[in-house]
Amino acid sequence: MLSELNLTWTDLISLAFFGAGWIGYVYFAQWQGARMPSLHTSMDRHRREWMVQMIGRDNRMVDINVMRSVARSSQFFASTSMLILGALVASMGYVQQAQDLVQGLPFTVKASARLLEIKMLLLVLIFVIAFFKFSWAIRQLNFCAILVAAAPKQPKPPNDDPEQHAAHINRIARITSYAGSNFNHGLRSYYFSVAALGWFLHPWLMMVATVWVVCVLHHREFRSKTLHAMVDDDRSPTLKP
């Protein structure tokens, strides 16, 4: 079977390394995010503060417009994922031409047409995952918009404590957090698709690209200047404009 596909042990190791890097980082990010500030956990605090302010507003068109703006990002990536999937499926009918193109590049490993199809199927799987994550985030944000419209109204004069509606506030904040988490998972799929492209050239390049993607994601989620700005850490270095 492996000889028919021209699949070497290096290909299998790189594919296993890619999967372990992706799945391992997802669990590592959840574990480390519970122990130190991250972009997602920091945004959770701001999401709840947003809902506290929303309860105190009589006109909530601002909140609905913010949710629409956030949903547009997921809609853009969901539609882009479908376009990429269509292009990948169409390109599988031109495997021989793609094989000639790839093998003409320097430092590439010769691969059979069947192996090239497997590499394309890997990209298809990645963008299918991305589409499902982004589309689920869109639905969750739609649910949040309905919950915002159903939120209790402050009396006039506003002598009511917003924290008396903590159950409603926490419910909306939790669902917006779920939507943000699904958006993050979808966006990570795009990052790891770049690593998967390395497999078309060389299995070792795929492993190197996987490590690079993990390092980039970790830096942006746990050590970026954006995170320091959100948590207002006075110990962080002075940010350049």
- Each residue of 132-144: pLDDT tens digit? 999 999 999 999 9
For 174-191, the pLDDT digits (tens) are 999 999 999 999 999 999
Instruction: Yes or no: say if 144 and 102 are a contact pair by the CB < 8 Å rule.
Output: no
**What pLDDT score was predicted for residue 193?**
96
Q: Tell me, what's the pLDDT at 238?
A: 42
Cα separation of 78 and 130, whole Å?
A: 7
Question: Within the chain, which residues score under 70 in pLDDT?
Answer: 1-6, 94-113, 154-164, 232-241
Predicted local distance difference test score (pLDDT) of residue 109: 63
Distance CA 74, CA 117 (A): 29
Give the Cα separation of 9 and 127 in Å (integer). 26
Cα–Cα–Cα angle for 97, 102, 106, rounded to 5 degrees: 145
User: In Å, how far from its chain's centre is CA 57?
Assistant: 31
- CB burial of residue 111 (10 Å; 0-12, 13-18, 19+): buried
